[in-house]
Amino acid sequence: MAWNTPGGGKDKDPRDPRDGGRSGQGADVDAFLERLKSNLGRVFGGDSGRTGRGGIGGSGGPSLGLIFLAIFLIWFVFDSWTLIDERQRGVVLRFGKYERLMTPGPNFKLPRPIESVIKVDATQVRNISDQVRMLTRDENIVLVDFNVQYQVSDPQLYLFGTRDPDDTLRQAAESAVREVMGNSVMDTILSGQRAELAAQARERLQASLDQYRTGLAVSEFNLQNARPPQEVKDAFDDAIIAREDKQRFENDALGYASKQVPEARGAAARVKAESEAYQAEVVAHAQGDADRFTLLVDEYRKAPAVTRKRLYLETMQEVLAANPKVVVGDRSGNNVMYLPLDRLSGVNTSAPDKTDATFVERLPAIQSATSPNAARPPARETSRTAREGSSR
């Protein structure tokens, strides 16, 4: 009771430390609690006149139930809705067991501890990077740096499929790299074929993740660098330089081939065209000769003597026109034609020049060799000379 109530002893001071060990601050706290109980009793229908220590006691039973009901309603309303972000997915657990998956937006659920929600960021691109040292198929040591980018594809499997999916992915990625690199030779790894090797490693990694039920999907797999160890770097640099020289020589050879092959093909086409033209020419000449001979036979059958004489004249004309010859004439009007036989078999088949001194000097010998009767006149000429002399 208060210290100033009737019969309570007016001479008791609440600030006196000897008052049952109660200080002035403790009395103020008790007074505050008494007022709070009285106010709660009025709000929930209790008796406001009883504000003692058991003021909510006997007649405050219904008021306490209303308090519990209000608390339950508040708990049910505020704990039955959850908001899932666009980047997230909500995994609903009912008494610790997987129940369903929540999509982005406001979602209803039973209040805790009946149902709980675990939010998983399903759109975040995660990545891991590591370096491994391994043996290749040709027993060379190589250092490979790789990077893996991945996302959560199945939130349920990501949470409950395996204990640590991120660490599982790291170990599976290292295993895939070792498998791919171990089946390749050093030249293939150090050359520009790392993209194909990365694609093979990605396929093996995704198959392993699906088998381990990690709920992860690989979006990118990159082999960033592949190099020999530092201990043998100089030797590999020399090998790379030699490979580049080989590539340069091959390019030069291909360039030379691309230049020479078209020229050779053009020359072959030209020779072929010339041969075809020659063939057509020979065939045409042969056909013309055959036709001319057929016509000649017909003419010969009609007039053999005339045709024979004409052929003789044409033949002599061709022979004499194609060979050098000398025509010698005298004052009497007799003309004699000489054929220089020594020149017929020589290289020079052109007609001799009258100014040629050697030919002029050898002309008597040529005349005597070619015509034995040329030194003396014929019989007609001798008789005519004799008659002219007698008449003189």
Could you report the per-residue pLDDT of 255-310, keeping only the tens digit for each? 998 999 999 999 999 999 999 999 999 999 999 989 988 888 888 888 888 888 88
d(CA 51, CA 40): 10
Tell me the average pLDDT across 179-190.
Answer: 85
Same domain for 149 and 217?
yes
Q: Which of 184, 213, 228 is the endpoint of a domain? A: 228
How much is the pTM? Answer: 0.45
Same domain for 219 and 138?
yes
Same domain for 87 and 160?
no
- Quick one: pLDDT at residue 39? 63
Beta-strand relationship, 326-329 and 335-338? antiparallel
Same domain for 89 and 173?
no
Same domain for 61 and 86?
no
79 vs 107, higher pLDDT = 107
58 domain residue, yes or no:
yes
Task: Residue 133: give the domain boundaries.
Answer: 126-228
391 domain residue, yes or no:
no
Predicted confidence (pLDDT) at residue 25 exceeds the cutoff of 90: no
Structural domain count of the chain: 4
Q: What angle do CA 300, 306, 307 make, to 5 degrees?
A: 35
- Quick one: pLDDT at residue 341? 62
- 268 to each of 255, 265, 272, how far by Cα in Å? 20, 5, 6
Same domain for 130 and 219?
yes
Same domain for 165 and 90?
no
Among 44-48, 309-313, 346-350, name the most confident range. Answer: 309-313
Give the pair of three-digit tokens for residue 205.
């990694």
Query: For 354-369, what is each residue's pLDDT tens digit?
Result: 444 444 444 444 444 4
Q: In terms of Cα–Cα distance, which of 314, 326, 312 is closest to 365? A: 326
Same domain for 62 and 147?
no
Same domain for 159 and 107?
no
d(CA 220, CA 149): 5
**CATH number, domain with residue 198:** 3.30.479.30
